[in-house]
Amino acid sequence: MLTSGQSFSESYMTDREVLDRIYGRFRDNRQHPFFPHVANQRLAYLREATKDPVPRGANKNAEIRRAYFKALKLLCREGDDGQYGESATADLDCLERLSFRVHYGDVVAERKLQDNPDLFRPLILADDWQGVKSALRDTNVEAAVIDRVSKKCLMYGVPDNVSRVIVDFYADTVIPVTVAVEVEYLKRRKLDKTA
């Protein structure tokens, strides 16, 4: 059912998320809906049954979605091939995988805190979030991720102009948004007084 002001893709994603909520996908705190407000409106009668036992972390899906469709515009030719269902399904699959990867930052942040509490605890207790962000970032790991993405593009025969868009998407969106999730996780952890 197309909701006013939604594109075909957005409507498909919303309806899919409604079903996913019914079947419990979002009970896993690592899963984040792209349209939580719409799903909640459509499923008000299920709200109590689907409450998360643990508060969900930062939801960066709006950011991911905006950046994804911006990058997609650079990759797609103008025009209409009429493949709305296939396109919406492929987009949602990509977005869900990107979301899971980015929001896994909660787990990564916890591991980094456990591995180096003497570095992170003083920064967290001082509310030095810029310092926390700097401590979370590892330029060698980030460069390795970018290199791996670039090599996969080469391995799959992706044209150079498309490869550049994909590599830039990782460098400009996936990595920084993952770090933002990590910072938000550590902020929540401090509020829980468990840092």
Q: What angle do CA 64, 2, 51 make, to 5 degrees?
A: 60
Answer yes or no: are the C-beta atoms of 38 and 14 closer than 8 Å: yes
| SS3 at position 87 | helix
Q: Residue 173 and residue 177: Cα distance in Å, rounded?
A: 6
Report the share of the chain in percent with pLDDT over 90. Answer: 57
The more confidently predicted of residues 33 and 157 is 157
Answer yes or no: are the C-beta atoms of 52 and 29 closer than 8 Å: yes
Residue 98 pLDDT more than 70?
Answer: yes
pLDDT digits (tens, 9 = 90+) for 4-49: 677 888 888 888 888 887 777 777 777 888 887 765 655 554 444 4
